[in-house]
Amino acid sequence: MAEQQSGIIARLDRLGRLVENSMLVLLLTSMILLASSQIILRNFFDSGFVWADEVLRILLLWTAMFGAVAASRQNRQIAIDVLSRFLPGRWNSLAMTLVQFFTAGVSGLIAWHSYRFVNDSRIYEDLLMGDWPAWIFQSVIPLGFALIAYRYLVFGLGSASRVIRGEGARA
């Protein structure tokens, strides 16, 4: 898809990948270190951080969302995909266009409705880990789905242009 993007979009895309990759590394490393130090503290020093379990679960949510966004950029979401193998070139492109716009639409809807959930949580001043506003941690949900929606919109536009030019789909 790179050749269709102008300079600034391509640069944004690279920046996005870099941010996602760094976040995944950072999140995973924090999970490993925090979870192991919890075990060491508990077994050898009979202590531990009271906030650790909640932080670990938030880290997991963030990892899940960033991992899902990263999966969508390579179009590597888990899918069944049995029919498209049997479709001839142009029909395959058409099917892909349909599927990608559908995915973009669904992700966009989730992003919007989870944004409303996060907004409510902000208005009602929900708290996590004692006195942290919950919406900060929850906002990864609308953000992640918005990014997935954006990615599939770009895929869909690419596939649509191949349908118009009468080309087969690309893997």
Touching other proteins, residues 4-63 (CB under 8 A): 21, 24-25, 27-29, 31-33, 35-36, 38-39, 53, 56-58, 60-61, 63
Give Rg (Cα) of the chain. Answer: 20
What are the angstrom distances between the C-alpha of 66 and each of 20, 26, 33, 76, 83?
6, 11, 19, 13, 29
Shortest Cβ 116–other proteins spacing (Å): 4
Q: How far apart are the first and last CA of the chain?
A: 12
Interface with other proteins (CB under 8 A), residue from 10, 41, 110, 153: 110
How far is the CA of 150 from the CAs of 16, 67, 79, 91, in angstroms?
12, 16, 19, 24
Smallest distance from the beta carbon of 104 to other proteins, in angstroms?
9
Using the minimum distance from each CB to other proteins, give the nearer residue, 7 or 155: 155
Size of residue set near other proteins by CB under 8 A: 60
What single-letter DSSP state applies at residue 128? E
The answer to whether residue 124 forms part of the interface with other proteins (CB under 8 A) is: no
Please tell me whether residue 164 binds other proteins under the rule CB under 8 A. no
13: CB partners within 8 A, 6+ apart: 2, 5
Pairing of β 132-133 and β 127-128: antiparallel
Closest distance between other proteins and the C-beta of residue 98, in Å? 7
Between CA 35 and CA 31 the distance in angstroms is: 6
CB of 12 to other proteins, least distance (A): 19
Q: Is the Cβ of residue 8 or residue 83 nearer to other proteins in the bound state? A: 83
State the virtual CA torsion across 4, 79, 143, 57 in degrees, nearest 10: -140
The residues that touch other proteins, with contacts defined as CB under 8 A, are 21, 24-25, 27-29, 31-33, 35-36, 38-39, 53, 56-58, 60-61, 63-72, 74, 76-84, 95-96, 98-99, 102-103, 106-107, 109-110, 113-118, 120, 137-138, 141-142
